[in-house]
Structure 1
Amino acid sequence: MKFKLYIFLFLFSTMIFAQQKTVETSIDTTKNKIGAEFKLTLKTIVSSTAKVEFPKLKNIGPLEVIQSYPIDTVKKDATNYELIKKYGLTQFDSGRYTIPSVKILIDKKPFFSDSIKVEVANVKVDTLQQKMYDIKDISSVDEGMGNWWIYVLIALVIIGIGAFVYWYVKKRQLKKIEEEVYKTPIEKATSLLNNLEKKELVQKGEIKEYYSELTDIARNYIEEAIHIPAMESTTSELITAIREASTKKKMTLTPETVENLERVLRQADLVKFAKSKPLDFEITDDRNKIQKVILTLDNAIPTEVPEDIEDQLLNEAQRQKQIKEQLRKKRNARIGYSIAAVILLLFITTTYFVVTKGFNYVKDNLIGHPSKELLEGEWVKSAYGSPAVLIETPKVLKRMDTEKVLPKETMALIKEMQLFVYGSMIDNFYVTVSTAKFKQPTDIDLAKALEGSLKVMEAQGAQNIIVKQEDFQTNEGIQGVKGYGTMSILNPATKTSTKAYYELLLFKQDQGLQQILILHEEGDTYANEITTRILNSVELQRANN
Structure 2
Amino acid sequence: MCALCYCSLGFAQTTPKISSAVDTTFIKIGDQLKFKVTVEVDSTDMVIFPEGQTFSPLETVEAFATDTTRKKDRITLLKTYALTQFDSGSYKLPAQRIDINGKGYFTDSLLINVATVPVDTMAQKMYDIKPLIQVEKTNPGWWKILLVILAVLALAAALLYWFVFRKKPLTNAEKEALLPPYDRALLELKKLDNSKYLIQDEYKQYYSELTDIVRSYLEEDANVSAMESTTDELIDKLELLKDAGELELDKDTINQFKNILRTADLVKFAKSKPPTNVALQDRKVVEHIVVKTHEAIPEPTLEELMAQEEYQNELARKREKKKWVIAGTTAIGLLLIAGIALIGYYGPVKVWDTISGHPSKLLLDNEWVASSYGYPPISLESPEVLVRQEVEIPAEAKANIKDLQTFLFREDKSFLTLATTSTTFTQPVEPDFEKTIDQLLRNFEAKGAKNIITKQEEFVTVSGVKGLKTYGSAKFKVPDSEELVKGKYAILSFGGKGFQQQVLLTWEDGDTYAEEIFNRVLSTVEVKTEV
TM-score greater than 0.5 by the shorter chain? no
Higher relative contact order (CA closer than 8 Å, sequence separation 6+): 1
For the pair shown, which has the larger CA radius of gyration, 1 or 2? 2
The bucket for the TM-score relative to the shorter chain is 0.3 to 0.5
